[in-house]
Structure 1
Amino acid sequence: MKACKYLLLLVLGAGVAIVNAKTVHEGLTLNEAVDMAIAADPWLTGSRHTQAALTDEATAAGTLPDPKMSLMAANFPVDSFDINQEAMTQLSVGISQMFPRGDTLALAQRKKLELALQQPLLREDRRARVTATVAQLWLDTYNAQESIRLIEKDRALFEHLVDATQASYATAVGSARQQDVIRAQLELTRLEDRLTTLRQGQETAQMRLSEWIGSRAGDRLAAALPTGSPAGPVPTQGSEQERYELLNHHPTLLALDKRIEATETDIELARQKYQPEWGLTAQYGYRDRDPTGRDRADLFSVGVTFDLPLFTANRQDKDVSAAIGHAEALRTEKQLLIRRLMASLETASVQLARLDERYALYIDRLLPQMAEQAEASLAAYNNDDGDFAEAVRARIAELNARIEALAIAVERQKTIAQINYLLVRASSDAAQPMQDF
């Protein structure tokens, strides 16, 4: 009987040693995954093309419209079509040029440039979003991978445990009972089910990660969990003004400012419609000699055209009012975006503080206590002062605690990734017209 219990002690002790052994496996790191995702992101390429297109459109928008040329044969007599029969007959060539209202050209060019300047800011926001998204997916995959590793180590322990209890029960020398054998087999089956569930979660996370990094998503991840920290101060109970100061340089807010500037330019463009549009026309007419051979003078004409914006109530006034309404709507959208970012930062900050507390509790107290409980239950069973089920439950509780501590550590890093996205600040040269080209 003592021999079987000592065998059980060796099996459990070996399992603890295996679990506590630290092995480092090289694999795909979080930074590598983020770099690959950003390098392969087609949205960034599309944004560069959009910026180039808007810059070209700005040049075109600031240019006068093409002049128009006319060629005309005027006042030909229909009886003979003779060019010198009538004094009115002439061949004329004319050219006309339109001049848009007020500062329309300069304002149209400015609007396009303001929209172009939005793109570098949107690209910075996109990189930050991709970093946060890939971090979430990488950490989901890591959590499943490392949970599987922990359980597989304990699976070997429970396999040995099943063999030990079966041997003790079969020889009738030890104190193992049939229910101990069944309990050991049941716990092993439960571990298999947990492994299957975790593998399903790992494969799902890998498929989602493959959207960003392709086939590398199936690689084994680095065994070490990244030890990132927030990119800036995290206000846990700061005022609303403090949170705003942390967020007011976020690329997505500055990009929205560029859109607001463009809509304000639209207001100025609408106001230009109160001014007339001018046109200049010049025409030269050639006349042939008269029937007696005398020269006729050629003719030159010049004229100016302009419209009269007199009835403005249903056109110009409404255009200005509509442009103002669009600008105010965007300002409202900015207020909503600021509220959403501030609420997200506050939520993530509180969550990080609580996760730090829980992780410290697990590392400093709960895991050591679970290990002591498992050892005490095993010692009691070996001294005929405890039962097999209690020893197994203690061992499973320790395993669950380690998995939960891993989940807390992973969730902490996911929260830090979200906070880092919220605290990202636009670089000083992000508004350069052709930055990143």
Structure 2
Amino acid sequence: MSPVISVLDSVRRGCLSIQRPGFVFLSLIVLNGLTGSVSGAAANAEKEPRLTLSQAISFALEHDPWLSGSRFDQQATEAKAESAYQLPDPKFSLALANLPTDTFDFEQEAMTQLIVGVSQSYPRGNSRQLKRQQLYQQSERQPLLRREREAKLTLTVTQLWLDAYLSRESVRLIEQDMALFDQLADISMAHYTSALGRTRQQDLIQAQLEQIRITDRLTRLQQKHDVAEQKLLEWLLPSFSETGQDIYIAEAYSDELPRLSPISPGTLQAKDITNRELADYFVHHPLVQALDQNIEMAGIGVQLAKQKYKPQWGVNASYGYRGETPDGRDRADLFSAAVTVSMPLFSSTAQDKEVEAAIASQEKIRTERSLMIRQMISSFRSAQAQISRLEQRQQLYHDKLLPQVKRQAKAALNGYESDNGNLTEVVRARISELNTRIEYLEIQVEQLRQIAQLNYVLTTTAAESEATTETRLYKEPGNKALKNTGANS
């Protein structure tokens, strides 16, 4: 038998022979502290690696298949851009023309010839250059989308980690008081059966009901913890295509809340900041810049539609071999060349409508961009207001509410010890203190969650924008910077 169990057994046996209920509660408090210290020592002895928020985010970013797929998508689009810039393949032909059907003699008729031809078509206007530029614009969206994915993944993992932490810590707070509630129910039963103090049957029933409610609440919180943990594990699994790798997730979360702070510059923290200033800042968000790329792509689409007003050229050449005459004289071979042109003379309405549709598509993307900036401004102000109010609530709980509920619980216990109170008041005071501590923890976690949301909204991609602009500059056909870069490399 362990020393803790021996002490528990001795105290419980002594409770039946002691006439003062205050000594019983004093024994419970001392016993509760003794049990906590022993369990804390055991936890320190069997210390396991703790999963911190930064570790979870780093692992999720490192093993996110979407980021790898985005890089492959960018490579594929750039390859398509180079392919779209090439001329269509030439067409070769081989024909036997004017062969007499009575004798099938190649040299019988002068018109009979073996013709070898080649033809080449050229797209309308600058269609090749524009299509190449449009595909490169599409590929340049991928770094922006990857930056947004990283920020979104950071937000998602942070929220799931905080959910798991909140439920785990709430369970721990309840479990710390569960032993005391169980002992209160046992002692109230002992008092009732031995007629000690003023314990009534309704006090006993009330204590048992509160014990059942606490047990149910503990089960619900454990359920939330299991769900949050499984959702978090979705982002902490390695890619199944990576052979020979495995994951070792810590079995416990860090006991300390992470330190998060808004990444906004000082100018955005001013209370009198205008929506115009916020809009100027949010144009650097990766999603907004991705829409800017879509607007440029749509603009190129308008130019592509206008290219259909221009003619489409084609050239073809053929060489005809003829055999000798029946008396053995040579015949001259024949060479032909032609130029073809496709003119949009009878289909101008189709071209007009295609240009109109392309312009409308571009304007639609502009409205989506404006709507996204408005949503970001709203999210920024909402998160900023919630963080401010949560700070006020946190200060109120820390300075006034928590000390007050502790004094209330102590006063209820003192009243019961002096036989001026009942057991129900003691139990409810302890439950009120427990609820206040859990609410204080929820306020802290919610504040961090809002900071994470604010940091996502404030994500910028200034470096990515410069990189994509430089990439477009060096990849445009005929640009001198392309030759200089090649020479330098």
Please, what TM-score do these two structures have when normalized by structure 1? 0.93
Aligned to 1:7: 24
Structure 1 residue 19 displacement after superposition: 8.2
3-state SS of paired residue (2:349): coil
For residues 292-371 of structure 1, the aligned pairs below 5 Å read 292-371=327-406
3-state SS of paired residue (1:71): strand
Letter in 2 for 1:5: G
3-state SS of paired residue (2:348): coil
Which residue of 253, 256, 261 maps to 1:229?
261
3-state SS of paired residue (2:50): coil
1:162, 1:185 within 8 Å by CA — same for their partners in 2? Answer: yes
1:4, 1:164 within 8 Å by CA — same for their partners in 2? Answer: no
Equivalents in 2 of 1:429, 1:411: separation in Å?
31
Which residue of 153, 159, 180 maps to 1:130?
153
Q: Deviations over 1:159-207 (max 9, x none)?
A: 2222332333333343433333333222221110110111111122223
Structure 1 unaligned segments of length 5 or more: list them.
Answer: none
Equivalents in 2 of 1:30, 1:323: separation in Å?
46
For residues 372-411 of structure 1, the aligned pairs below 5 Å read 372-411=407-446
Q: Deviations over 1:51-70 (max 9, x none)?
A: 11111100010000001111
3-state SS of paired residue (1:319): helix
1:210, 1:216 within 8 Å by CA — same for their partners in 2? Answer: no
Equivalents in 2 of 1:78, 1:149: separation in Å?
100
Aligned to 1:264: 299
Structure 1 residue 371 displacement after superposition: 1.1
For residues 77-88 of structure 1, the aligned pairs below 5 Å read 77-88=100-111
Equivalents in 2 of 1:314, 1:425: separation in Å?
44
Letter in 2 for 1:121: L
Please state if 1:187 is matched with 2:210.
yes
Q: Deviations over 1:3-49 (max 9, x none)?
A: 32122133246658988999887522212222222222222222122
Structure 1 residue 139 displacement after superposition: 1.0
Equivalents in 1 of 2:27, 2:289: separation in Å?
64
Instruction: Tell me whether 159-168 or 72-81 shows the greater mean CA deviation.
Output: 159-168
Equivalents in 1 of 2:30, 2:206: separation in Å?
19
Structure 2 unaligned segments of length 5 or more: list them.
Answer: 1-17, 238-246, 473-489
1:8, 1:164 within 8 Å by CA — same for their partners in 2? Answer: no
Aligned to 2:187: 164
Aligned to 2:284: 249
Equivalents in 2 of 1:427, 1:330: separation in Å?
21
Q: Deviations over 1:295-318 (max 9, x none)?
A: 221111111110111234321111
Which residue of 75, 83, 98 maps to 1:60?
83
Please state if 1:42 is matched with 2:59.
no
Structure 1 residue 90 displacement after superposition: 1.2
1:9, 1:382 within 8 Å by CA — same for their partners in 2? Answer: no
Please state if 1:151 is matched with 2:168.
no
How many residue pairs are counted as aligned between the two chains? 434
2:197, 2:419 within 8 Å by CA — same for their partners in 1? Answer: no
Equivalents in 1 of 2:58, 2:359: separation in Å?
42
1:270, 1:320 within 8 Å by CA — same for their partners in 2? Answer: yes
Equivalents in 2 of 1:420, 1:245: separation in Å?
17
Task: Summarize the Cα distance change of 1:216–1:314 in structure 2 as closer, same or farther, 3 Å threshold.
Answer: farther
3-state SS of paired residue (1:301): strand
Structure 1 residue 216 displacement after superposition: 6.8
For residues 21-40 of structure 1, the aligned pairs below 5 Å read 26-40=49-63
Structure 1 residue 395 displacement after superposition: 1.3
Please, what TM-score do these two structures have when normalized by structure 2? 0.83
3-state SS of paired residue (1:384): coil
RMSD: 2.4
2:144, 2:464 within 8 Å by CA — same for their partners in 1? Answer: no
Structure 1 residue 238 displacement after superposition: 2.6
Equivalents in 2 of 1:2, 1:114: separation in Å?
86
3-state SS of paired residue (1:314): helix
Equivalents in 2 of 1:167, 1:387: separation in Å?
15
Equivalents in 1 of 2:430, 2:36: separation in Å?
12
Equivalents in 2 of 1:168, 1:150: separation in Å?
27
3-state SS of paired residue (2:463): coil
1:348, 1:415 within 8 Å by CA — same for their partners in 2? Answer: yes
Q: Deviations over 1:94-130 (max 9, x none)?
A: 1111111111100010000000000111111111111
2:114, 2:322 within 8 Å by CA — same for their partners in 1? Answer: yes
Please state if 1:291 is matched with 2:326.
yes
Instruction: Tell me whether 23-32 or 236-245 shows the greater mean CA deviation.
Output: 23-32
Aligned to 2:483: none
**Bigger RCO (CA 8 Å, 6+ sep):** 1
